[in-house]
Amino acid sequence: MKRTLYIPLLIAVALFASCKSGKYDATEKVYKKKATEYADLYKEAPVESQLAKINSNDKEWIASINFGIRKPNYVMIHHTAQDSLAQTVKTFHSAKAGVSSHYVIGRDGKIVQMVNDLFRGHHAGAGKWGNDTDLNSSSIGIELDNNGTTDPWSDAQINALIALLTTLKDTYKIPQANFIGHMDYAPTRKNDPSRFPWKKLAQSGFGYWYDEYLETPPANFDVKLALRIIGYDVKNLDAAIKGFKHHYIQNNANSANLNDQELKILYSIFKKYL
């Protein structure tokens, strides 16, 4: 009697596992096809597809032995501004949306990788940090499942993020200063991740936070220069100030004015980049 019940149970479990594992078969097939196409380009030697484009009759392929693959040098953190991890996964499967991130972290701390670290994800868009105007090519994007307005940041989610950042920092030797938010890179159009616990990340070695004791900046302290040295694009100074405030102050962040306390915070952060 027990054996009779056991066999159908095994079949049901197998069918359930089969259905579950097949949920993303279509998108996995597209991913593997694209990855194979890129692998073929990497393997091409001589690189005829590139050499042929050069308008010259005197050209030759002579291979060097010194080269490598993409090395991520930044991590950019986002909030999804969506309602669930599943909805974000669906968005990143949309060719029409055309966006992606290397990782998505759910509210419960689940880490989902969606793009190989060594591939160029589509998460940063237009912006500038330092002299870099294409952080898609030099960064790893991490999306945090959060609606961007009322959702709290759970301990499980932030602890999972810190675990992931620890791995990425160690693997790619990413400098502490190079863990930034989308609002830092694109302050004219982004404020994410909003209300975010940057201090906790900085205490773990990811980005900087201001000192507990804040010095008064000198009379000739140049706000524009300080923001530029930190990394902000100061072509639109008001936007740069708002981006800084979204990251480090988080109160009255839509104002481009800096009060005395906020100037002290800017001065403290600025000194860490000298």
Active-site entry in 48, 143, 215, 262: 143
Give the other-Cβ count within 10 Å of 22's Cβ: 10
End-to-end Cα separation, the chain, in angstroms = 76
Q: What is the mean pLDDT of residues 214-220?
A: 97
Q: What domains are there in the chain, each with its CATH number?
A: 68-209 (3.40.80.10), 210-274 (no CATH)
Residue 236, both tokens: 């639109």
Q: What are the structure tokens assigned to 224, written together?
A: 């524009």
Residue with tokens 């201001």: 210
pTM: 0.90
Question: Does residue 143 have an active-site annotation?
Answer: yes
Mean pLDDT of the residues in the chain? 92
Closest to 169 in 3D by CA, of 139, 146, 199, 197? 139
Q: Which of 260, 166, 162 is nearest to 216 (CA)?
A: 260
Burial 178-197, CB ≥16 within 10 A → b, else e: bbbbbbbbbbbebbbbbbbe
Neighbours of 112 (CB within 10 A): 16
81-139 confidence digits (pLDDT tens): 999 999 999 999 999 999 999 999 999 999 999 999 999 999 999 999 999 999 999 99
CA 207 from chain centre, in angstroms, equals 13
